[in-house]
C-alpha cells in the first residue's frame, strides 16, 4: 500500500514531539513493505527553527538516523493532487494549514484513497474555533491520541468517524542500552512550552534537584534565561536541543528520569501522557511522574512508574530510587514490559490497519486476516 503523511515536519523534532510518533509509524509501515512518503511545508515553524539553531547539519543528521524515511518538502505551487492520486491512504496532521486540509478533502471526492485526519494536540479544547473551522466532511475518519479528545470530536460533530489512537514508542530506536553505565543521577528531556508547565518544572524538577544536590542533565528548547539560571543553580547541566536518535543513550547515562506533563493536558485532556513517557519506559529507565490522570489505564502506576503528587513526594521518590537499586531495577523492568506488551509502533500499526478496514479500505481488510493467521 502507498501511504502519504502530511506532517508539520518529519525532518525536525525541534519543539515538535509529534514527529517522534509519526516517524515511528512510518518506519514500521516501511518495514512491513509499504511505500511511505512524508510531505511537509518547506518553511514549517519547527523545521525553520531547527535550521536556524543547528544549521544544515540537522537535516543531514535526520537522513543518517532515518534513511528509510522519504520526506518531500512542499512550497506554494506544489502539485498536491498529483501526489494524492496515487495514494491508498492519506493521513493529515492537525498542524497542516486549514486551506490545505480542505484542498485534500476535495481531492478525496475524486479519488479512492482513504483519508484520515490526525489530532495530537489540545486545540480541540483550548482553541475550539480553529478546529471547528477545518473542513473535515470528506475525511473518512479522525484519529485522536486519547479517549477524552475522541469524545470532544463526537460532541462537536467533527468528522464521520473518530478513533482513539494513542501515541507509542518506536522500539526499534527506543530500547535499553545495557553497555552504557549511568554516570549521573537525573535526566529530564522536555521543552519549556510557552509557560504551560513553568511552575511544574520548578516544583518537580528544579527544587528537588537542588534539595538533593543531584547531578544530571536537562535537554529542551525555548528555555528563558531565568529558567536556565535556575537550572544552573541546582547543579544540573542545561544542554539544549537533543536529536531524538540520541535520547536512548542519554537515558542510559542517567539513573532516573521524570515525566512532567503540560498543564492543558493535565487539566483538560486527562489520560494523555507525553510521548516521552512511552519512550523513557521503552529505554528501561526508572521514571517518576508529576500528576496526570491515567483514566484509560495505559500503565500500572506504582509498578511501571511512580506518581509524585507534589514536590515533597518527588523528593522522596528520587531519594528512594537513587538509593535502592533493586527498587529502581524493578520499576525499569515493569515499565519496559508494559511498553513491549501494549505500546509500541507495531501495536499502533496493527490498530491503524483495523481502523482503515473499518473505514472501508479493502486492502487493509485483506491484511488483517493474514496478520492474525501469522500471529
pLDDT at 126: 83
89: pLDDT confidence band, cut at 50, 70 and 90?
very high
CATH superfamily of 184-342: Glycogen Phosphorylase B; (3.40.50.2000)
Q: Where are the domains of the chain?
A: 2-168+344-374, 184-342
What's the whole-number mean pLDDT along residues 263-289? 93
Q: Three-state SS string across the chain, please? A: CEEEEECCCCCCCCCCCHHHHHHHHHHHHHHCCCEEEEEEECCCHHHHHHHHHHCCHHHHHHHHHCCCCEEEEECCCCCHHHHHHCCCEEEEECCCCHHHHHHHHHHHHCCCCEEEEEECCCHHHHCHHHHHCCCCCCCCEEEECCHHHHHHHHHHCCCCCEEECCCCECCCCCCCCCCCCCCEEEEEECCCCCCCCHHHHHHHHHHHHHHHCCCEEEECCCCCHHHHHHHHHHCCEECCCCCHHHHHHHHHCEEEEEECCCHHHHHHCCCCCCHHHHHHHHCCCCEEECCCCCCCCCCCECCCEEECCCHHHHHHHHHHHHHCHHHHHHHHHHHHHHHHHHCEHHHHHHHHHHHHHHCCCHHHHHHHHHHHHHC
Residue pair 241/221 in contact (Cβ under 8 Å)? The answer is yes
Q: Find the mean pLDDT for residues 291-310.
A: 97
- Residue 44: what pLDDT? 97
Cell (9 digits) for 92: 493529515
pLDDT digits 0-9 by tens, 114-165: 999 999 988 888 889 999 999 999 999 999 999 999 999 999 999 989 999 9
- pLDDT of 125 reads 84
Residue the block writes with cell 485534500 = 104
Does the structure show a pLDDT above 80 at 375?
no
pLDDT for the residue numbered 106: 97
Question: Which pTM was predicted?
Answer: 0.96
**2-168+344-374 CATH choice from 3.30.470.10, 3.40.50.2000, 3.40.50.620, 3.40.50.12280:** 3.40.50.2000
The tens digit of pLDDT for each residue in 37-66 reads 999 999 999 999 999 999 999 999 999 999
Q: Is the pLDDT of residue 368 over 80?
A: no
Question: What pLDDT score was predicted for residue 370?
Answer: 66
Average pLDDT of the chain is 95
Q: Which of 49-58, 209-218, 321-330, 364-373 has the lowest mean pLDDT?
A: 364-373
2-168+344-374 and 184-342 share one CATH topology? yes
Mean pLDDT of 226-252: 96
Amino acid at each position: 500500500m502507498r501511504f502519504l503523511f502530511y506532517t508539520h515536519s518529519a525532518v525536525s523534532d525541534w519543539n515538535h514531539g509529534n514527529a517522534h510518533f509519526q516517524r515511528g509509524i512510518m518506519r514500521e509501515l516501511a518495514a512491513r513493505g509499504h511505500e511511505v512518503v512524508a510531505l511537509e511545508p518547506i518553511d514549517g515553524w519547527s523545521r525553520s527553527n531547527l535550521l536556524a539553531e543547528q544549521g544544515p547539519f540537522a537535516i543531514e543528521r535526520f537522513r543518517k538516523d532515518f534513511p528509510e524515511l522519504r520526506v518531500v518538502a512542499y512550497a506554494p505551487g506544489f502539485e498536491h493532487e498529483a501526489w494524492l492520486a496515487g495514494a491508498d491512504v492519506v493521513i493529515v496532521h492537525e498542524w497542516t494549514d486549514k486551506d490545505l486540509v480542505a484542498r485534500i478533502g476535495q481531492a478525496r471526492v475524486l479519488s479512492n484513497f482513504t483519508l484520515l485526519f490526525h489530532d495530537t494536540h489540545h486545540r480541540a479544547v483550548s482553541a475550539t474555533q480553529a478546529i471547528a473551522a477545518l473542513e473535515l466532511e470528506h475525511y473518512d475518519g479522525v484519529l485522536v491520541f486519547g479517549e477524552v479528545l475522541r469524545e470532544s470530536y463526537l460532541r462537536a460533530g467533527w468528522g464521520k468517524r473518530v478513533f482513539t489512537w494513542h501515541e507509542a514508542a518506536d522500539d526499534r530506536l527506543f530500547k535499553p542500552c545495557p553497555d552504557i553505565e549511568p554516570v549521573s543521577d537525573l535526566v529530564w528531556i522536555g521543552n519549556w512550552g510557552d509557560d504551560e508547565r513553568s511552575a511544574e518544572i520548578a516544583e518537580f524538577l528544579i527544587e528537588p534537584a537542588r534539595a538533593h544536590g543531584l547531578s544530571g542533565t536537562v535537554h529542551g528548547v525555548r528555555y528563558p534565561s531565568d529558567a536556565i539560571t535556575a537550572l544552573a543553580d541546582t547543579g544540573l547541566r542545561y544542554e539544549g536541543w537533543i536529536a531524538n536518535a540520541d535520547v536512548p543513550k542519554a537515558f542510559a547515562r542517567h539513573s532516573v528520569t521524570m515525566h512532567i506533563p503540560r498543564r492543558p493536558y493535565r487539566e483538560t485532556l486527562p489520560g494523555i501522557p507525553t510521548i516521552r513517557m512511552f519512550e523513557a519506559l521503552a529505554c528501561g529507565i526508572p521514571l517518576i511522574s508529576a500528576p496526570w490522570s491515567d483514566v484509560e489505564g495505559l500503565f500500572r502506576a506504582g509498578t511501571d512508574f511512580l506518581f509524585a503528587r507534589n514536590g515533597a513526594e518527588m523528593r522522596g521518590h528520587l531519594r528512594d530510587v537513587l538509593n535502592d537499586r533493586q527498587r529502581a531495577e524493578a520499576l525499569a523492568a515493569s515499565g519496559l514490559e508494559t511498553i513491549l506488551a501494549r505500546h509500541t509502533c507495531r501495536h499502533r500499526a496493527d490498530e491503524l490497519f483495523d481502523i482503515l478496514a473499518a473505514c472501508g479500505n479493502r486492502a487493509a481488510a485483506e491484511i488483517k486476516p493474514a496478520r492474525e493467521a501469522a500471529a
